[in-house]
């Protein structure tokens, strides 16, 4: 059997299109334009690429993009003052502080200074608590994108055995909460899990989010399972730098029923979901109906 390849690039384009349509209706019907503020501290090259991409896609969806680029030596007080201004600004519906922050800044403190209603990353402790208790929250973008792809492929996920490999606050833990919310039986596995292969082989849905290149081989994949590969790892192969996931694609594709490739799988969904979250935050702020199919 060869798996269906889940095309995240096409899916993300569809989500961005839905967001853009909804934004156009908000503008025409209510005179409201959603606004996303992105804060970048320092000059990390990867972060600069992400931030540029976020700004471009925000504008393409018809929303306002506000970029705040601060020097690497910006003090915590200055950063907190900026967040305070963005919290109070009614034109800003979403705030994203690009991580990682320079070492002298306490990222927990900074993230928790964002108004939870504008926390489009879903990293604020209030949103983490709301998600964990099944209440309406802002949901982290990458796991939200994975959930959308799984729902699209399967319809209902109820009763499925899901294994999430990775326990990060950004992906693993919220992913597990979302799968539980959709009535999966969820296992969170990680680098210290005993017989990780045996645990993975139980999964109808296997989500890999460990950040280790190709660590999950095809013989850890139950025949017919759906594999969501969140990993984005740069490695050297045959003298070239290539992007690979946390799953060994060539062997996993032979066992799985469906699989996301790297690149072109989960990656493009993250920014699409950031736009969706900004739209959701804007609708909530204005007491308007939320977009259907773009939230958890």
Instruction: Select from 5, 70, 99, 232 the one that contacts ligand GUN (CB under 6 A).
Output: 99
CB of 272 to ligand GUN, least distance (A): 12
DSSP, collapsed to helix, strand or coil, labels residue 132 as helix
Of 226 and 270, the one with the shorter C-beta distance to ligand GUN is 270
The CB-of-142 to ligand GUN minimum distance in angstroms stands at 6
Region binding ligand GUN by CB under 6 A among candidate stretches 62-70, 90-98, 179-187, 288-296: 90-98
Q: Which stretch binds ligand GUN (CB under 6 A): 20-28, 92-100, 158-166, 282-290?
A: 92-100
Among 74, 98, 260, 277, binds ligand GUN (CB under 6 A): 98
Pick from 96, 188, 203, 283 the residue near ligand GUN by CB under 6 A: 96
Round to whole Å and give the CA distance between 216 and 221.
8
Sign of CA dihedral 223, 229, 231, 235: positive
Window of 93-101, 143-151, 196-204, 208-216 that interacts with ligand GUN by CB under 6 A: 93-101
Q: Based on the residue annotation, tell me whether 135 is a catalytic residue of this protein.
A: no
Report CA dihedral (84, 88, 89, 94) to the nearest 10 degrees: 70
173 is catalytic: no
54 is an active site residue = yes
Where is 143: in which H helix or E strand? helix 141-154
The reply to whether 141 sits near ligand GUN by the rule CB under 6 A is yes
Q: If binding is defined by CB under 6 A, does position 121 make contact with ligand GUN?
A: yes
CB 123 within 8 A of CB 98: no
Q: Are 100 and 70 in contact (CB under 8 A)?
A: no
DSSP symbols for 189-255: E-TT-TTHHHHHTT-SEEEE-S--TT-B-GGGSPTT-EEEE---EEEEETTEEEEE-SB-HHHHHHH
The span from the CA of 9 to the CA of 213, in Å, is 21
Question: Of 65 and 200, which CB lies nearer to ligand GUN in the complex structure?
Answer: 65
Span of 11-19, 91-99, 147-155, 285-293 interacting with ligand GUN by CB under 6 A: 91-99
- The residues, any chain, with a CB within 8 Å of residue 63's CB and separated by 6 or more, are 23, 33, 34, 35, 36, 275, 278, 279
Residue 104, helix vs strand vs coil: coil
Marked catalytic residue, from 18, 57, 119, 121: 121
- Cβ proximity to ligand GUN: between 57 and 270 the closer is 270
Residues that bind ligand GUN (CB under 6 A): 96-99, 121, 141, 270
Active site residues: 54, 98, 121
């Amino acid at each position: 059997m060869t798996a269906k390849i889940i095309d995240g690039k096409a899916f993300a384009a569809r989500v961005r299109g839905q967001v853009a349509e909804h934004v156009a209706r908000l503008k025409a019907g209510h005179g409201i334009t959603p606004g996303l503020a992105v804060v970048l501290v320092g000059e990390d090259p990867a972060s600069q690429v992400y931030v540029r991409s976020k700004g471009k896609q925000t504008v393409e969806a018809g929303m306002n993009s506000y970029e705040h680029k601060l020097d690497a030596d910006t003090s915590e007080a200055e950063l907190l003052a900026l967040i305070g201004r963005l919290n109070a600004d009614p034109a800003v519906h979403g705030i994203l502080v690009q991580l990682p922050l320079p070492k002298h800044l306490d990222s927990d403190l900074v993230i928790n200074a964002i108004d939870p209603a504008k926390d489009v990353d879903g990293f604020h402790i209030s949103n983490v608590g709301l998600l964990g208790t099944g209440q309406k929250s802002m949901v982290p973008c990458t796991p939200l994108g994975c959930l959308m792809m799984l729902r699209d492929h399967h319809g209902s996920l109820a009763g499925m055995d899901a294994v999430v490999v990775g326990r990060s606050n950004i992906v693993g833990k919220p992913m597990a909460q979302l799968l539980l919310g959709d009535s999966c039986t969820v296992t969170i596995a990680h680098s210290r899990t005993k017989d990780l292969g045996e645990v993975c082989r139980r999964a109808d849905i296997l989500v890999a989010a460990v950040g280790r290149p190709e660590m999950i081989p095809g013989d850890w994949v139950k025949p017919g399972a759906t594999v969501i590969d969140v990993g984005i790892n740069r490695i050297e192969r045959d003298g070239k730098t290539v992007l690979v996931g946390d799953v060994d694609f060539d062997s996993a594709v032979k066992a799985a029923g469906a699989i996301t490739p790297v690149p072109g799988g989960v990656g493009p969904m993250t920014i699409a979901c950031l736009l969706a979250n900004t739209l959701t935050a804007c609708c909530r702020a204005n007491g308007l109906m939320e977009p259907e199919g773009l939230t958890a």
